[in-house]
Structure 1
Amino acid sequence: MAKSERTAAVLVAAGRGLRAGAGGPKQYRAIGGQTVIFRAMQPFCTHPRIDAVQPVLNPDDAAMFNAACAGLTHQPPAAGGATRQASVHAGLEALAAQRPDFVLIHDAARAFVSQDVISRAIETAHRTGAAIPTVQVADTIKLVDEAGNIVDTPVRARLRIAQTPQAFRYDVILEAHRRAAREGRDDFTDDAAIAEWAGLTVATFEGDVANMKLTTPEDFVREEARLAAALGDIRTGTGYDVHAFGPGDHVMICGVRVPHSKGFLAHSDGDVGLHALVDAILGALADGDIGSHFPPSDPKWKGASSDRFLKYAIERVAQRGGRIANLEVTLICERPKIGPLRDTMRARIAGISGVDISRIAVKATTSERLGFTGREEGIAATASATIRLPWSL
């Protein structure tokens, strides 16, 4: 594989998901503490061999998308069409300026795609030019007529269930979509069908039974139960940080720039709230502390924004196959006043971490004018983090 070859991904998220029941488009609903679309996009956004991620949305969903996917790096969203096929075409056209060599096309309703499946998609597409993930059929399949009578029993050994991401040479699948649009063909249910119609041979590779599509309310119930059972190793960690005041006109607290008569004396930006949270998460992982991962003796962290530290800690949880259940910060200071900014700080932590704001708490208290915080010499923060990890022996 040539090093210069680029691979992009199209995430199709313009559908309404009516079969999933009430509650709005299914891709923006939470499952296991994270939105479906965040779960679907994150493995592509963090995969080392994906160079660009192109989401395709219903324009009415822009605000929900921005809230759900804050912190993920992606291309500006493209506007979807009336059908999945039209939305994929729009995503492919939006990538034209990127000029990728290969493209992976994935349904946002498949929230549990793994990076291993993505890697297999890339490898197989590079070998064959067109490939899709499949899983074997476990049950006997019957072909019936309009009256419901059986007319055939296909050979089960040759049947496969198609999944996404489906992977192709970019220029070839783009031309197939353009040709289908010119000829008025809008009835293809996946991109492999368009490729077959265009005369391509489409290979298959091993999919993943967990990479199922969320379609009905029952799917959500089943997957919530599966996630709860799988992530049964519940861990809690605590953190503490303190920074003294020095010259300045603002302080950073929980990722928010807060005007103040002083600044922090610190090697980084001195964000006591985020620093305490990072220590809490690392503590829950039994993975050292913030100083061992970001030593203040290292000049590259001089003045660093603390959102980088929190993102790193969150990624350490994800790498272990876990998720965040709850984050809590308590700030101890006389001034500045935290109460008016509490929800702004919660929203900022949510944006950095990808954790739903309903699982984030920011509190504040004073020390009744006692000690260094009471004398307004600095700010202290405590934090706790509850995480869920897969059981391991």
Structure 2
Amino acid sequence: MAERKIAAVLVAAGRGERAGRSSEGPKQYRRIGGRPVLSWTLATFLQRSDIDRIVVVIHPDDETLAQGAVGADTNRVELVHGAATRQASVLRGLRHLRNDAPDIVLIHDAVRPFASDAVIDAVIDGTRAGMGAIPAISLTDTIKRSSDCATIIETIDRSSLFAAQTPQGFRYDAILTAHENAADASDTTFTDDASIAEWAGLAVALVPGAAENVKLTLAIDIDVADRKLKGSPMIDVRTGNGYDVHQLVPGDHVTLCGVRIPHDQTLLGHSDADVGLHALTDAILATCGAGDIGTHFPPSDPQWRGAASEIFVRHAVGIVGDHGGRICNVDITLISEAPKVSPHREAMVRAIGDMTGLTPDRISVKATTNETIGFVGRREGIAAIATASVVYGG
């Protein structure tokens, strides 16, 4: 059996008033991803070897805009002037094809730039098997009916309801005849080509559509499509490191990561000398270039004498938030010969979670000795290393 000829009619004659005014013209010529919408839609059909002819139905005033969108493919794209309504424009496109009539015609909204090959294949296969085929997706939102757009009359069962998309495929001779007859029935209004086929008594099958095959109707739709084609910006993930050390002197406790631990020594410092939280503060501040702990809490300032280091961490967290950041996780390593950290680890994690808003699975507190080497090994001091990961703008 000989391969059937396939043509595509792209409808681009509308004014797109719901998308608002733009210096770029109607919405089919607005730029998304640096190119007109029509250019993206055309590219999908131009790259297919099974589509023999492509007709674009345009408004007579848009000849220059259309030529710009077609670009170098002028020898493969046929421009036809449309009419006052979508229905009449489609009919003009169909009539244009009579000089070399295809077996199958796909009718597509030019402002649906994301029709996939899978959707187009399904429509073509469905059309070959019957009279017509349209892509459709089942409705997921609850559907309400109202007579005044203000008060609900009833909730409609959505189980048998589908949202129709394009391209819609038909046997060319059948849909042309249906359109001709519909044009004669001037008191009848149709919202798509499948509704004309139904009116004419033609069988139309539903094939799987795709959620991404959206019609760009409003200005926000165009903005979303533009962002999609430009690509999502790289997530701005930043990592900051912090290090702190404090001397050990005779005493009765140390404060580490916000937890008071009985000990025969204490850490010497202007505040409570919590090396873990001091390192963490520096790590958090580093992710937005906000200096270090001494920048915000100078040791020369008497108000911070004996202060709980929780204040410093919460201040750093606030600065990150002001910069549009969100802390993802923190990791602290305490370097000490004593006291043992493991019995207090859960309390430390809870304390840090309260300061940062992080869940326990995003907080790591570890400890290691210095194998009796150096000032840590001689129990002259305790050191801490901290790392913080922060997402900005994500």
Which band: TM-score by shorter chain? Answer: 0.5 to 0.7
SS class of match (1:225): helix
Q: Is the 8 A contact 1:10 1:106 kept in 2?
A: yes
Output the CA distance in 1 between the equivalents of 2:234 and 2:123: 30
Q: Is the 8 A contact 1:40 1:112 kept in 2?
A: yes
What's the counterpart of residue 106 of structure 1? 108
Tell me which amino acid in the other structure corresponds to 1:17. Answer: G
Output the CA distance in 1 between the equivalents of 2:137 and 2:221: 18
SS class of match (2:207): strand
What's the counterpart of residue 221 of structure 1? 223
Output the CA distance in 2 between the equivalents of 1:91 and 1:25: 19
Q: Is the 8 A contact 2:19 2:27 kept in 1?
A: yes
TM-score (norm 2): 0.56
Output the CA distance in 1 between the equivalents of 2:83 and 2:163: 25
Q: Cα deviations across residues 258-285 of structure 1 (Å, max 9, x unaligned)?
A: xxxxxxxxxxxxxxxxxxxxxxxxxxxx
Q: CA deviation at 1:67?
A: 1.1
What's the counterpart of residue 50 of structure 1? 51
Output the CA distance in 2 between the equivalents of 1:132 and 1:211: 13
Q: Cα deviations across residues 29-82 of structure 1 (Å, max 9, x unaligned)?
A: 110112100111111122121111011011111111111111225343111010
**How many residues are paired up?**
232
Q: Is the 8 A contact 2:53 2:77 kept in 1?
A: yes
Output the CA distance in 2 between the equivalents of 1:137 and 1:147: 20
What's the counterpart of residue 267 of structure 2? none
What's the counterpart of residue 180 of structure 1? 182
1:62-211 to structure 2, matched below 5 A, reads 62-72=63-73, 73-146=75-148, 148-185=150-187, 187-211=189-213
Q: CA deviation at 1:226?
A: 2.9
Q: CA deviation at 1:102?
A: 0.5
Q: Cα deviations across residues 75-116 of structure 1 (Å, max 9, x unaligned)?
A: 431110100000000000000012100100000011111122
Where do 5+ consecutive residues of structure 2 fail to align?
236-394
TM-score (norm 1): 0.57
Output the CA distance in 2 between the equivalents of 1:232 and 1:52: 40
Q: CA deviation at 1:186?
A: 5.0
Q: CA deviation at 1:229?
A: 4.1
SS class of match (1:70): helix
Q: Is the 8 A contact 1:118 1:165 kept in 2?
A: yes
Where do 5+ consecutive residues of structure 1 fail to align?
234-393
Tell me which amino acid in the other structure corresponds to 1:204. Answer: L
SS class of match (2:137): strand
Q: Is the 8 A contact 1:86 1:186 kept in 2?
A: no
Output the CA distance in 2 between the equivalents of 1:3 and 1:117: 23
Q: Is the 8 A contact 2:7 2:52 kept in 1?
A: yes
| Change beyond 3 A, Cα 1:91–1:231 | farther
| Change beyond 3 A, Cα 1:186–1:33 | farther
Output the CA distance in 1 between the equivalents of 2:219 and 2:132: 33
Q: Is the 8 A contact 2:70 2:77 kept in 1?
A: no
Fraction of identical pairs, as percent = 44
What's the counterpart of residue 38 of structure 1? 39
What's the counterpart of residue 9 of structure 2? 10
Tell me which amino acid in the other structure corresponds to 2:40. Answer: R
Q: Is the 8 A contact 2:104 2:172 kept in 1?
A: yes
Q: Cα deviations across residues 329-385 of structure 1 (Å, max 9, x unaligned)?
A: xxxxxxxxxxxxxxxxxxxxxxxxxxxxxxxxxxxxxxxxxxxxxxxxxxxxxxxxx
Quick check: which has more Rg, 1 or 2?
2
CA RMSD of aligned residues (A): 1.7
Output the CA distance in 2 between the equivalents of 1:119 and 1:4: 15
